[in-house]
């Protein structure tokens, strides 16, 4: 597996593909956004080839796309990967999509002898840049083992969850449900602190060594709230998308999640009121009644 195609060179895909280049893979990139393609090209990647050509040249094609719709189009569309590819190629989706879509892609891929792994990631843009991502991979263990050098070039903690292709996604949705809780918790706690005559830097110093500490508190406060900078990162609309998938999963499994439903409504309201493109930590601004800084 030396030649890799990469579709979706956004906040995550660009640094991930750059790390593949750094590990001496030959990487062919593609994005609807030409600026993203140029940045990839400047890092040594090849652009300007068609999907057919990418399939022809590559042993494995990775995707990092923003929505289930985009993933469905790129994999299952008329001009999509599964339609155009032939037996033996490996397709790996690192996006967070609905588990049901993982299953549909696998079903169509299997009909043609195409290998498919659903491999969502955690660790954020920083993890993608520093090669410290966690991968939660669902699908065939033997295919996973063969793809290990590719995962290792982009991440640090590489987990095979189980043979079900949607198992990595289900794991990731539980992770992001927790991120939704922590981000809302940090937002409300800091709003209260600010209105209780407390200095937020000093508060962080103390709570960071107390049980109120969390990785999300550190991330959201130190990298975003403290600098009043909400360029993503992980956009609020992407977190809202994942909370929706988590709630669908709960409904499918007849699990009642009363607080999660309120959480989803909170993010959906923020998304509809101008905070969608900001980093998820912007929920603090929404909760404290401040307008968004970007878009």
Residues that bind ligand NAD (CB under 6 A): 7-13, 30-33, 36, 64-66, 70, 73-74, 95-96, 121-122, 124-125, 233-234, 238
Contacts of 122 (CB under 8 A, 6+ apart): 133, 134, 136, 172, 175
Question: Which entry of 172, 241, 285, 286 is annotated as an active-site residue?
Answer: 172
Q: Round to whole Å and give the CA distance between 65 and 73.
A: 10
Closest CA to 170 of 262, 242, 260, 234: 242
Task: Return the number of the residue (179 or 207) whose C-beta is nearest ligand NAD.
Answer: 179
Nearest approach in angstroms of CB 239 to ligand NAD is 8
Alpha helices (H) in the chain, listed in sequence order: 13-22, 34-42, 51-57, 68-76, 81-84, 99-111, 124-130, 141-152, 167-194, 200-207, 215-218, 236-252, 258-270, 283-287
* C-alpha dist (Å) from residue 166 to 100, 138, 173, 221, 248: 7, 6, 11, 32, 14
Nearest approach in angstroms of CB 279 to ligand NAD is 9
Nearest approach in angstroms of CB 102 to ligand NAD is 12
Catalytic residue flag (residue 286): no
Residue found under tokens 């990595």: 168
Task: Return the number of the residue (31 or 106) whose C-beta is nearest ligand NAD.
Answer: 31
Task: Return the number of the residue (74 or 203) whose C-beta is nearest ligand NAD.
Answer: 74
Closest residue to bound ligand NAD by CB: 10
Nearest approach in angstroms of CB 41 to ligand NAD is 14
Task: Return the number of the residue (54 or 74) whose C-beta is nearest ligand NAD.
Answer: 74
Nearest approach in angstroms of CB 68 to ligand NAD is 9
Task: Return the number of the residue (5 or 13) whose C-beta is nearest ligand NAD.
Answer: 13
Largest Cα–Cα separation, the chain: 64
Query: Which residues are annotated as catalytic?
Result: 172
């Amino acid at each position: 597996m030396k030649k890799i195609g990469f579709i979706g060179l956004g906040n995550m895909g660009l640094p991930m593909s750059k790390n593949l280049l750094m590990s001496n893979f030959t990487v062919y990139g593609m994005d609807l956004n030409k600026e993203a393609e140029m940045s990839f090209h400047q890092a040594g990647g090849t652009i300007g080839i068609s999907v057919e050509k990418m399939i022809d040249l590559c042993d494995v094609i990775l995707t990092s796309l923003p929505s289930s719709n985009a993933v469905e189009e790129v994999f299952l569309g008329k001009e999509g990967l599964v339609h155009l590819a032939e037996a033996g190629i490996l397709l790996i989706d690192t996006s967070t999509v609905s588990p049901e879509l993982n299953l549909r892609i696998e079903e169509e891929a299997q009909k043609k002898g195409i290998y498919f792994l659903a491999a969502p990631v955690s660790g954020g843009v920083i993890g993608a840049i520093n090669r410290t991502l966690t991968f939660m991979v669902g699908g065939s263990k033997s295919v996973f083992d063969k793809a290990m050098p590719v995962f290792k070039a982009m991440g640090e903690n590489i987990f095979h969850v189980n043979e079900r292709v949607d198992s990595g996604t289900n794991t990731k949705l539980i992770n992001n449900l927790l991120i939704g809780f922590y981000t809302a918790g940090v937002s409300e706690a800091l709003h209260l602190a600010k209105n209780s005559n407390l200095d937020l830097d000093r508060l962080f110093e103390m709570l960071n060594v107390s049980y109120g500490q969390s990785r999300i508190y550190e991330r959201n406060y130190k990298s975003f709230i403290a600098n009043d900078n909400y360029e993503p990162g992980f956009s609020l609309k992407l977190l809202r998308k994942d909370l929706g998938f988590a709630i669908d999963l709960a409904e499918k499994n007849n699990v009642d999640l009363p607080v999660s439903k309120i959480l989803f409504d909170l993010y959906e309201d923020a998304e509809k009121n101008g905070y969608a493109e900001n980093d998820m930590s912007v929920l603090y601004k929404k909760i404290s009644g401040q307008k968004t800084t970007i878009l």
